[in-house]
A and B are shown apart, each in its own frame.
Chain A
Amino acid sequence: MSSKQRILILFAHPSPHRSEVNRPMFVASKSLAHVTAVDLYREYPTFCIDIDREQQRLREHDVLIFHFPLYWYSTPSLLKEWQDLVLEYGFAYGHEGKALAGKQFMCALSASGPEKAYHADGYNHFTIRELLQPLEQMADFVGMTYLPPFTLFGARSAVEDKRLSRHIAQWTALLNGLGDRAWHGHNWDDVITINAWVTQHMEERI
């Protein structure tokens, strides 16, 4: 099969006008042909999610990415609402709920704390992958392959530290790699974030 994997990005940011990291990432992702990037808060400002439409979107894509700033160790609320409404019994799980089986799932997020804080010895006590376990289990429950999160730590100072352009370059490289199935067959069990892998395998693209 020569065609690319189709990627669906659900971008959830309740105050995009303040965004320094995620909005530029969102803009960059929109320019890729194999990517559908959806601004969830723009489409559903009153939280009235169109379930049929969202399920149809899922059917049309091979990779699902939740793209968000980390809020209290989880997603912003609209993305949770999206899970509650769209991943229905009979669609995503249950006897006949096989619509998502075989697809891939990944989180792309920004966290304000530094990487060392997300560690058993750090003030957040857990790694980012551990904190996102509900989403990992969600993916597993509906039969999706879980990829470790693509994370930007210390996001509040990324612009000042001039780390943003590299992060965005990695982000587009990752999206292209996902489109080409470049991760195929990789074992992610002990990997906390996918960033190192992107750096290692896609340096020539960046």
Chain B
Amino acid sequence: MTSILVQAFIYLCAAVLMVPLAKRLGLGSVLGYLIAGVVIGPLAGWVGQETATIQHFAEFGVVMMLFLVGLELEPRMLWDMRHRLLGLGGLQMAATTAVLASIAMILGLMWSEALTVGVIFSLSSTAIVLQTFNEKGLAKTEGGRAAFSVLLLQDIAVIPVLALIPLLALPELQVAAELVNDVAQHHDELSLVAHLPAWATALVVLVTVGALIAAGHYLSRPLFRFVAESGLHEVFTAAALMLVIGIAALMSLIGLSPALGTFLAGVVLANSEFRHELEADIEPFKGLLLGLFFITVGAGIQFGVLAADWPSIVGLTLALMLVKMTILWVLSTAFHVHASNRWLFALSLAQAGEFGFVLVGFSVAQHVIPVDLAQKLSLVVALSMFLTPLLFIVFERVIQPRYQRRDDETEADEIDEQGTVIIAGIGRFGQIINRLLIANGVTTVVLDFRALQVDRLRSVNVKSYYGDASRMDLLETAGIREANALVVAIDDQARAVELVQRVKHTYPHVYILARAYDRRHLYELNHAGADHVISETYLSALQMGGDVLARLGYHPFRVEQLKRQFRSAEHAYFEELFQTWRGEGDISGFSDHYKQLFMKMDSELIHAMQIDRADQHSRSERGWTPPPKSYLKEMGG
């Protein structure tokens, strides 16, 4: 127990110190984790043996990341990208494998070894690339999307690769292994399909995937609603974790990639009302595990092997990245990825990936490649991952600025395009706002923490999500960072104020419109930083007051003028009343001074209206006031 705590402390400590430092230096978090790993591993020697074990555990971060990626990707979008997925991704893997395998054969490897090396190196690092995309906001760019298609195909391709590698086994290695009594068995402890014939395995896989999709569609909602209605946030988190871990386990049992399984589950749930809540809950786990994974990559670099043979390993790494970049560059032309996006695409995928480690280990276990070669390969993989953040920095500092001007000019036409609006609280108030916005083609993200309400709205085709909008992490997954405006229409007054305060503090650019319950709440919301506040009853009461006047015989146009005058009189006093309330800091009730001010405002209002009745000029009637009857004499008429 003590040693676990010490270990955990060392890892956390390294991350806490190095990552912010790396970010401050502009290196990005991934490089920070990698350096932290190097420091505590090979350099200081505080951690050692266990990194491999921890790495397997930390790979779960990749699984969670793919779940989150799936959540962002509705089935339609996945279908829309099928050409890129198969074409771009498939060609990338095939071309890279072929070129690298040829080079490996020229360097003297046997064809089976060369092919394995080619496949291993053709994969890129989903973990590093997606994490960096998110961090730098590149995920939605053309280059980012193209890179994502390739990564996704690679993740899927790992499964057949795992099946094919054993076929390449070398007889002499097998003999050697039998002598050594191989203990490096990597795969796989538990399996449901290990002893089944191929057709039965395929059947099991198909049925399971089908069942998973069906369950995602029909079972997840009642389950999450059941949990959500308990109102216990941590239970919802537990449910989210249970879902991800359960699917990963199921996939492992039937011999599929857990990452692929959770990705599918994510896609199935992308339309669900619980999407943002799930994202917000899984996000921190994913972040920590991925960080841990990067640390273990850093810590796992074997400086002994590197020092012994560094010119060839560094040379191989650079050559590998150059080859991959060239192939990506050529492919990007064929798939119409242009300008800065082309660079992003080529630079971002030039490394080998975390699946490389898995495949290296697996290949050794299957007697496809010898151990000394495997060590070198692992080093090349690690080193190329290490260099990737540097390539991103090159992209950001050197390449992007060059294209910036051109990009700016092409985007100039799209200024009119509206961004999204987040509506917190979809009760009677929020619904009207949402309907008006939707009817005008504005994209809205609707949040409410009452699962029943969300359900009810979904049944009439209002797209809304379950989640507590006063949680910042949830707002972030809902896209507050890119939102243009936030509408706060939640019933809990204190929470509304808190929400306004937090959002204004973290995202001052988001315009906040808030609904106030009464005058005091209105002041509180204003004070908290809301840009525009409306009392929930004010306008409808004013409208009905006007209707009464009209019913009493006032001319309808006159009624409009009177209402306008009433509002502007209120408006004229707003600042003074607000400052009075603010100065007194009285939260329990209004002070006498405030009340006096209020009465003064009211009496002036009455005064203004009475002048009017006495047939003198007033503000309300100032327009359309005829000149005095004697004015014609002035004109000489």
Contact = CB atoms under 8 A, between A and B. Distances in A.
Contacts of A89: 625-628, 631
Interface in A93-149: 93-95
A32 interface: no
A26 B564 CA distance: 30
A93 B631 CA distance: 10
Interface residues of B, number: 10
A89 B622 CA distance: 11
Contact of B624 (A48, A85, A93, A95): A85
Interface in A68-93: 84-85, 88-89, 93
B624 A94 contact: no
Given A89-B625, A94-B634, 10 more contacts: A49-B623, A51-B622, A84-B623, A84-B624, A88-B625, A89-B626, A89-B627, A89-B628, A89-B631, A94-B631
B634 A95 contact: yes
Interface of B: 564, 622-628, 631, 634
Contacts of B626: 89
A49 B628 CA distance: 22
Contacts of B628: 89
Given A48-B564, A94-B634, A95-B634, A85 B627 contact: no
Nearest to B622: A51
A84 B623 CA distance: 7
A85 to B, nearest CB: 4
Contact of B627 (A49, A84, A94): A94
Interface centre among B622, B623, B631 (most CB of A within 10 A): B623
A89 B634 CA distance: 12
A77 B208 CA distance: 68
Contacts of B625: 88-89
The 8 closest A-B pairs by CB, nearest first: A85-B623, A89-B627, A95-B634, A94-B631, A48-B564, A51-B622, A94-B627, A84-B624
A95 B628 CA distance: 11
Contacts of B564: 48
Nearest to B416: A17
B440 to A, nearest CB: 12
A31 to B, nearest CB: 16
Contact of B623 (A51, A93, A94, A95): A51
Contacts of A93: 627
A145 to B, nearest CB: 19
Interface residues of A, number: 10
Contacts of A84: 623-624
Contacts of B622: 51, 85, 88
Contacts of B634: 94-95
Contacts of B623: 49, 51, 84-85
10 contacts: A49-B623, A51-B622, A84-B624, A85-B624, A89-B625, A89-B626, A89-B627, A93-B627, A94-B631, A95-B631
A161 B363 CA distance: 71
Nearest to A141: B635
B63 to A, nearest CB: 48
Contacts of A95: 631, 634
A86 to B, nearest CB: 8
Contacts of A49: 623
A48 B619 CA distance: 12
Nearest to B561: A48
B556 to A, nearest CB: 15
A93 B622 CA distance: 15
Contacts of B627: 89, 93-94
B511 to A, nearest CB: 17
A160 B631 CA distance: 51
Nearest to A48: B564
Interface in A142-164: none
B571 to A, nearest CB: 11
A52 to B, nearest CB: 9
A88 B627 CA distance: 8
Nearest to A85: B623
A206 to B, nearest CB: 25
A40 to B, nearest CB: 15
Contacts of A48: 564
Nearest to B564: A48
A46 to B, nearest CB: 8
Contacts of B624: 84-85
Contacts of A51: 622-623
A95 B626 CA distance: 15
A95 B636 CA distance: 11
Nearest to B567: A48
Contacts of A85: 622-624
A18 B351 CA distance: 51
Nearest to A46: B564
A93 B634 CA distance: 10
Nearest to B627: A89
Contacts of A88: 622, 625
Nearest to A81: B623
A49 B619 CA distance: 11
Nearest to B626: A89
A93 B628 CA distance: 12
Interface string A27-50: 000000000000000000000110
A109 to B, nearest CB: 24
A89 B626 CA distance: 8
A49 to B, nearest CB: 7
A204 B564 CA distance: 51
A89 B625 CA distance: 9
A82 to B, nearest CB: 10
A84 B626 CA distance: 10
Interface in A170-203: none
A94 B564 CA distance: 28
B583 to A, nearest CB: 29
Contacts of B631: 89, 94-95
A85 B626 CA distance: 10
B608 to A, nearest CB: 15
A85 B625 CA distance: 8
A48 B628 CA distance: 24
A54 to B, nearest CB: 11
Nearest to B633: A95
A49 B624 CA distance: 12
A177 to B, nearest CB: 30
A101 to B, nearest CB: 14
Interface in A46-72: 48-49, 51
Nearest to A50: B568
A94 B631 CA distance: 7
